[in-house]
């Protein structure tokens, strides 16, 4: 019997260990404002608390004359390398069989992109995605091919399932064996958008995806247009949350196209969230977007509360909370 995604999500249960939280850097939530727009350059914005150290790194690179693409890659590497972030890179939650499989994509100011999906044992998928962009005629490499490509290009194979996460996965496997509820426990992808002082934009996304997913599952974070889109004449957008819905609505592309039509970043993010209303489980999943435009205006919007994002400019360095649609 084919089970619908809605049914699948509804029948999942949540482990109440409290371990699967996004509060990796809770002390960094310095301000709870709903929406901010400024016009500073350079500017870096990124998803969740771990977006702050990532954005700080990216900003440092931009401030010292580095390229906007370097800023994106190296910023995201900070999170990929942190074993305490259980949703990205090293220390990410595995699939149902205990394999950590990573999705990532990157897009530059010229509209060139690279991506990897279902990548095993390589902790920096954003760097591999960048090489796919730079060294191949392709956009997306998956699985074994992506890993072989990485190894040929000097990446090292390493076990990404840390002892801590292995224990958590083993407990899940022995006690539960159901997929995690993606709403409550699985929303910590790093998506980062950067604008340099000349107005050039690039972005990237990296994730270990939905914890305990069906082996072979690929989410939006490997899909250009869904989790990430950059148009240097207009702006950029990225997503976090239930990747299936971001893919189905091609959310990031939609946001950039609405900004092209003249929508502000906030209006454009709201438009993309609004598109999700057609799904009858709209109240249970979570999808959140970040967007910035060429002028340095930025916004975040989510269907649900609790979406945090980091902003770093020359005068501003904070984790903020986005506005959201589903008010009680
Ligand atoms: C995915 N969008 O694999 C990712 C998960 C996510 O924050 O964003 N987590 O569906």
Three-class DSSP category at 107: strand
Is ligand 1 within 6 A of the CB of residue 220? yes
- Per DSSP, the three-state class of 242 is coil
Where helices occur in the chain by DSSP H, the ranges are: 5-10, 51-63, 68-80, 125-135, 143-152, 163-175, 182-185, 243-248, 251-260, 265-275
Tens of each residue's pLDDT in the chain, 328 residues: 333 444 433 332 222 222 233 333 333 334 433 334 456 789 999 999 999 999 999 999 999 999 999 999 999 999 999 999 999 999 999 999 999 999 999 999 999 999 999 999 999 999 999 999 999 999 999 999 999 999 999 999 999 999 999 999 999 888 866 665 544 555 589 999 999 999 999 999 999 999 999 999 999 999 999 999 999 999 999 999 999 999 999 999 999 999 999 999 999 999 999 999 999 999 999 999 999 999 999 999 999 999 999 999 998 899 999 999 987 7
Cα-to-centroid distance, 24 and ligand 1 (Å): 16
- Verify whether ligand 1 is closer than 6 Å to residue 47 (CB atom): no
The CB of 288 under 6 Å from ligand 1? The reply is no
Q: In ligand 1, which atom is closest to the CA atom of 246?
A: 2
CA 324 and chain centroid, separation: 18
Q: How far apart are CA 222 and CA 122, in angstroms?
A: 15
Could you count the other beta carbons within 10 Å of the beta carbon of residue 12? 16
Q: Determine whether 228 is exposed, middle or buried from the number of CB atoms within 10 Å of its CB (0-12, 13-18, 19+).
A: buried
Yes or no: say if 86 and 212 are a contact pair by the CB < 8 Å rule: no
Task: Catalogue all structural domains in the chain, each as residue range(s) with its CATH number.
Answer: 8-324 (3.60.20.30)
Q: What is the pLDDT of residue 186?
A: 52
At residue 224, φ and ψ (nearest 5 deg) are: -65, 135
Q: Is 101 in the pocket of ligand 1 (CB under 6 A)?
A: no
C-alpha–C-alpha distance, residues 221 and 189, integer Å: 8
Look at residue 245 and give its three-state secondary structure.
Answer: helix
CA–centroid distance, 191 to ligand 1, in Å, is 10
Token readout for 123 is 């902790």
Task: Output the pLDDT for position 189.
Answer: 95
Cα(119) to ligand 1 centroid in Å equals: 15
Please tell me whether the overall predicted TM-score, pTM, comes out greater than 0.85 for this model: yes
- Residue from 231, 235, 228, 177 nearest 204 by CA: 228
For residue 5, with 0-12 CB atoms within 10 Å meaning exposed, 13-18 middle and 19 or more buried, which class applies?
A: middle
CB atoms within 10 A of CB 4: 9
Q: For 300, list phi and psi in degrees, rounded to 5.
A: -135, 150
Residue 146: how many other CB atoms lie within 10 Å:
25
Rg (C-alpha) for the chain, rounded Å, is: 18
The CB of 209 under 6 Å from ligand 1? The reply is: yes
Cα–Cα distance measured from residue 221 to residue 114, given in angstroms and rounded to the nearest whole number: 11
Q: What is the rounded distance in angstroms from the CA atom of residue 289 to the CA atom of residue 323?
A: 11
Q: How far apart are CA 37 and CA 185, in angstroms?
A: 29
Among protein residues, the one with the nearest Cα to ligand 1's atom 2 is: 243
Report how far residue 86's alpha carbon sits from residue 188's, in angstroms, rounded to the nearest whole number: 8
Ligand 1 atom having least distance to the Cα of 227: 2
Task: Give the residue numbers annotated as catalytic, written as ranges.
Answer: 189
Is 158:166 a contact under the CB 8 Å cutoff? no
What the block records as the tokens of 15 is 């482990």
Predicted pLDDT of residue 187: 56
Q: What angle do CA 205, 322, 238 make, to 5 degrees?
A: 20
* CA dihedral for 124, 125, 128, 130, sign (positive or negative): negative
């Amino acid at each position: 019997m084919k089970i619908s995604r809605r049914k699948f999500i509804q029948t999942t249960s949540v482990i109440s260990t409290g371990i699967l939280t996004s509060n990796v850097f809770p002390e960094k939530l310095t301000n709870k404002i709903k929406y901010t727009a400024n016009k500073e350059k350079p500017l870096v914005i990124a998803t969740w608390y771990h977006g702050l150290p990532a954005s700080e790194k990216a900003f440092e690179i931009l401030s010292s004359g580095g390229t906007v693409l370097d800023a994106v890659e190296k910023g995201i590497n900070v999170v990929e390398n942190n074993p305490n972030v259980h949703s990205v890179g090293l220390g990410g939650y595995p699939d149902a069989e205990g394999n950590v499989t990573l999705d990532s994509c990157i897009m530059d100011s010229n509209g060139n992109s690279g991506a990897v999906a279902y990548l095993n044992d390589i902790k920096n998928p954003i760097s591999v995605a960048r090489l796919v962009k730079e060294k191949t005629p392709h956009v997306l490499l998956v699985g074994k091919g992506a890993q072989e490509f990485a190894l040929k290009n000097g990446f090292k194979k390493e076990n990404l399932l840390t002892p801590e996460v292995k224990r958590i996965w083993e407990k899940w496997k022995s006690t539960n064996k159901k997929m995690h509820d993606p709403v409550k426990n699985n929303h910590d992808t790093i998506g980062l958008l950067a604008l340099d002082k000349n107005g050039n934009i690039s972005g990237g996304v990296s994730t270990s995806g939905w914890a305990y997913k069906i082996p072979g599952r690929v989410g939006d974070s490997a899909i250009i247009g869904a989790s990430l889109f950059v148009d240097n004449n207009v702006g950029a957008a990225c997503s976090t949350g239930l990747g299936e819905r971001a893919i189905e609505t091609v959310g990031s592309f939609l946001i950039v196209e609405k900004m092209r039509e003249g929508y502000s970043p906030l209006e454009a993010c709201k438009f993309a969230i609004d598109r999700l209303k057609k799904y009858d489980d709209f109240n249970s999943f979570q999808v959140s977007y970040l967007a910035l435009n060429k002028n340095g205006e930025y916004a975040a919007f989510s269907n649900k509360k609790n979406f945090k994002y980091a902003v770093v400019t020359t005068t501003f360095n904070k984790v903020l909370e986005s506005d959201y649609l589903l008010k009680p």
